[in-house]
Structure 1
Amino acid sequence: MTTRFVRRTTTCLGVGSAALLALTACSSDTDHSSGAPSASATGSPSASAPASAPSSPKVSGTIVVFAAASLKESFTTLGKEFQTANPGTTVRFNFAGSDTLAASITSGAPADVFAAASPKTMQTVTDAGDGSGTPDTFVRNQLEIATLPGNPKHIASLKDLTRSGLKVVLCAKTVPCGAAADKALTASSLHLTPVSYEQDVKSALTKVELKEADAAVVYQTDVKAAGGKVAGVDFPESAKAINAYPIVALKDAPNATGAQAFIALVESAAGRKVLNEAGFLNP
């Protein structure tokens, strides 16, 4: 009798242990919040497991962006949006003529992102091996004539800029806006001598705003940004000199993670909205 009692007790303990293990297995294979099987129950890693869950690198610190002067308003807006979405970050901009920025980068100036107003100026950076990856064209821009408010000189065409006595300002030919203007003038067999060549498009526009010039050939985005300070005159020849704007993260970017995150914002639907509202064309 003693032997039978021991055997029966052992058998019961074995059954109880098996049942306990089964309950434990069931509870571990069930999501407690929904009752649905977890990823591990189907043979996939659990979504909550830190070792297997994909995660984007946290963006922090300062991101330095070198950008063409014509991007000032739209990029400033995007910079604020970026900082709001990524607390603890700061976006610092250097806005200038693309050729000046390219020269600074190839000379070793520390920066994370370069956004140029033409493929040619971007090539200066990539040919020097300072770009990380292939630049993406994110917008395009078209030229427009900026005149004094009300257009008192009655400028209606590109040819009108060649009239005697008219004070016209152009961007330097080494600057994308200047190269585009020169291309439009050459295609139209027109020649004019400006009162000055400016090193970036904002400087050319300022000459008109200050009434130091009657007109300037700038981008349509700059005319729009100036509001009522200038008037804009479209000219058909501008369609033959549209500039593509490429952007790239820099090879030795001090904040490579931040550079990629900022470029992602620029190329996102939200970024495109801001750029389109500023007057930029889709790539």
Structure 2
Amino acid sequence: MFRTSERAAGPACRAARPATAVLLTLALLAATACGVTQRQTLRVFADSSLTGVLGTLARTFEASHPDVAIAFHFGGGPALARRITQGEAADVLVAAPDATSLVVGATPRVFARDRMEIAVPRGNPAHVAALSDLAAPGVRVVLCVPAIPCGASADRALAAAGVTPGPVVRTMDASAALAKVRRGDADAALVGRTDIRAAAGAVDGVDLPASAGAAGEYAIASVPKSENHVPAREFVDLVLSDQGRRILADAGFSPA
């Protein structure tokens, strides 16, 4: 078939093909000379509470790895781990240690801790000043689901304080909880202080005593089945490095 078509095309078309090939070659050479290269994509699955600080870490990493582009997939840790174990391609997982351990063969390293705070709408119209106020009549409380760090930590803090809020709305992550507070659909949410800080003034924060406990630990691990072993390991190394610790501290986390 190919040879028949070539004969039908005639000498003029056959003569044009080398010229076309030359032009394509010149275009490729020009693209290479201008620095147009194929960037490797590093797929990082991460807990939504880390959106801000991981964005800073990604920019730092890409500045020293111009051939790598980081693509984030944010969500709840357990759900992300399930997606990976079910075969979705990923290179790095950043979540609570329990969720990270669900990825068979992964060796998680705890790298950051967060503290718990109460998020309230601007001006704190319900006058929430302590955990005990979450049980006051009419106070609408939103918590994360227990399967993720902010939800599990909130439940522990409330149990330790002997506080049982009224009807509670559960959200899949801290961002959704904060959105309800910001819109005035809730009077208070128990989330990490870094979540409130990342809200950039859209909500107010109420400090809790150290006895209220941590809002959770975060661990990082490269995914054993990753096809991008080298950049995955180097990104993990950045997060665990002194530079990474400084970035975490600037975002309000306590580096581990």
TM-score range, shorter chain: 0.7 to 0.9
The alignment yields a C-alpha RMSD, in angstroms, of 1.5
In structure 2, the partner of 1:216 is 189
TM-score, with normalisation over the residues of structure 2? 0.81
CA positional deviation for 1:211: 1.6
Q: Could you list the runs of 5+ residues in structure 2 that have no partner in the other structure?
A: 1-38
In structure 2, the partner of 1:66 is 45
Amino acid at match of 1:70: S
CA positional deviation for 1:130: 4.2
User: How many Å separate the matches in 2 of 1:273 and 1:209?
Assistant: 29
Q: Deviations over 1:34-79 (max 9, x none)?
A: xxxxxxxxxxxxxxxxxxxxxxxxxx61111011111100101111
CA positional deviation for 1:273: 1.4
In structure 2, the partner of 1:120 is 98
In structure 2, the partner of 1:255 is 228
User: How many Å separate the matches in 2 of 1:238 and 1:201?
Assistant: 21
In structure 1, the partner of 2:64 is 85
The alpha-carbon distance between structure 1 residues 205 and 130, as it changes in their structure 2 partners (threshold 3 A), is: farther
In structure 2, the partner of 1:192 is 165
Identify which of 52, 62, 84 aligns with 1:105: 84
Runs of 4+ in 1 over 4 A off after TM superposition: none
In structure 2, the partner of 1:177 is 150
User: How many Å separate the matches in 1 of 2:45 and 2:167?
Assistant: 28
Q: Secondary structure at the match of 1:248?
A: strand
Q: Secondary structure at the match of 2:198?
A: helix
| Fraction of identical pairs, as percent | 42
CA positional deviation for 1:209: 1.4
Q: Deviations over 1:239-273 (max 9, x none)?
A: 43442211100110121111001111111222111
Q: Secondary structure at the match of 2:184?
A: coil
User: How many Å separate the matches in 2 of 1:171 and 1:72?
Assistant: 16
User: How many Å separate the matches in 2 of 1:154 and 1:211?
Assistant: 14
CA positional deviation for 1:195: 4.1
Q: Deviations over 1:217-259 (max 9, x none)?
A: 1100011111210000111266434422111001101211110
Amino acid at match of 1:168: V
Q: Could you list the runs of 5+ residues in structure 1 that have no partner in the other structure?
A: 1-59
The alpha-carbon distance between structure 1 residues 193 and 105, as it changes in their structure 2 partners (threshold 3 A), is: farther
TM-score, with normalisation over the residues of structure 1? 0.74
Larger Rg computed on CA atoms? 1
Amino acid at match of 2:115: Q
Q: Secondary structure at the match of 1:142?
A: strand
Q: Secondary structure at the match of 1:141?
A: strand
Matches within 5 A, 1:2-81: 61-81=40-60
Amino acid at match of 1:141: D
CA positional deviation for 1:194: 4.2
Give the aligned length: 218
Is the Cα contact below 8 Å between 1:147 and 1:216 reproduced in 2? yes
